[in-house]
Amino acid sequence: MDIELARTFIEIVGTGSFVKAADRLHVAQTTVSARVRLLEEQLGRPLFIRNKGGASLTPAGEQFLRFAPAFVQLWQRAKQQVAVPEGHRAVLTIGSEVSLWEPLLVDWVSRMRHSHPDIALRVHVDVPHDLIAHVGAGLVDIAVVYAPQHRPGLEINLLKEEQLVLVTTDLASYHTNNPGYVHVDWGADFSLHHAASFPDTTHGLVVNLGPLALSYLLQEGGSGYFRRHTVQPLLASGELYLVPDSPQFSFPVYAVHSANIDAATLGIALAVLRTAANVEGE
């Protein structure tokens, strides 16, 4: 089977639409439709029911969904293993969200390089949705993310529990004029709990990237919610202050990996990752 057919099938399932799948794959919608027709001809069954709302799976499509991710992941793994650099026994592609690059991913890479130099590493930093898609397609072996989407062929493991805390650059005036609150978009769960704790609050500035929001806060002043470990050095130096009696929100970090990755290499990578995460949490 042409792997592109399986990859196209997975994108349609993930996006729920032929049009959105075409955008994700950077091809014309007619190309997506042609691939699906060819795949359906090879399998001898219709896979999708198309309607105004997008595309849904037929019973045959549901069955094929059990196998399609494995086809794609195994092909990508085969390509990677064939391309193992001289002097190494395996290649591992690891990634994370941008906001988790420093220090967690840096520490993970550093520890892997020192403890297992015979494993070649490829490091990928991206937005959450694309990271999950890359893991599903076999392009990334293990990714560290905050709110992973469940996809067929992927396994999700809780790595650690982060805490989001409210900090300010000016504690003395915080309660009287609340200097420039920066609302960091930490995802749907955070927004839900934040709205419950701060009802009827409007946000003049919303930022969807923690490091960018923190840089702005330090430059312009204000307040906002950030990872405790990230702001701990700034709290110690007096550049930021923890707002007393403010609610704190749980923000779990997960490791997502393909179900088809080599078990020995996976075990090594996850063990080193957990060590790095535990050190960061101390």
pLDDT for the residue numbered 134: 83
CATH number at residue 232: 3.40.190.10
- Segment 150-172 shows an average pLDDT of 88
Q: What is the pLDDT of residues 211-234, one digit of tens each?
A: 889 999 999 999 999 989 889 999
Whether residue 258 is found in the same domain as residue 121: yes
Whether residue 127 is found in the same domain as residue 242: no
Q: What is the pLDDT of residues 170-194, one digit of tens each?
A: 988 776 556 689 999 888 788 899 9
Which residues are registered as beta bridge partners of 255?
A: 144, 157
Question: Which of 48, 66, 84 marks a domain boundary?
Answer: 66
Whether residue 205 is found in the same domain as residue 240: yes
Whether residue 129 is found in the same domain as residue 172: no
Measured CA to CA, the distance from residue 120 to residue 104 in angstroms comes to 19
Tokens read off for 120:
């070649």
Tokens read off for 13:
């399932």
The boundaries of the domain holding residue 238 are 162-251
Q: How many CB atoms lie within 10 A of CB 3?
A: 16
CATH number at residue 48: 1.10.10.10
Residue 281 zone, left/alpha/beta (φ > 0; ψ -120 to 50; rest): alpha
Whether residue 97 is found in the same domain as residue 141: yes
Alpha helices in the chain (DSSP H): 3-15, 18-25, 29-43, 59-64, 68-82, 106-115, 128-136, 171-177, 188-197, 210-220, 228-237, 263-281
Closest to 122 measured CA to CA, from 228, 130, 113: 113
Q: What is the pLDDT of residues 3-62, one digit of tens each?
A: 899 999 999 998 999 999 999 899 999 999 999 999 999 999 999 998 887 899 999 999
Closest to 31 measured CA to CA, from 55, 12, 53: 12
Whether residue 172 is found in the same domain as residue 230: yes
Whether residue 169 is found in the same domain as residue 226: yes
Closest to 182 measured CA to CA, from 225, 218, 211, 235: 225
Whether residue 118 is found in the same domain as residue 7: no
Whether residue 44 is found in the same domain as residue 109: no
Number of domains composing the chain: 3
Q: 85 falls in which pLDDT band (50, 70, 90)?
A: confident
Measured CA to CA, the distance from residue 23 to residue 239 in angstroms comes to 44
Whether residue 138 is found in the same domain as residue 24: no
Whether residue 59 is found in the same domain as residue 74: no
Whether residue 153 is found in the same domain as residue 272: yes
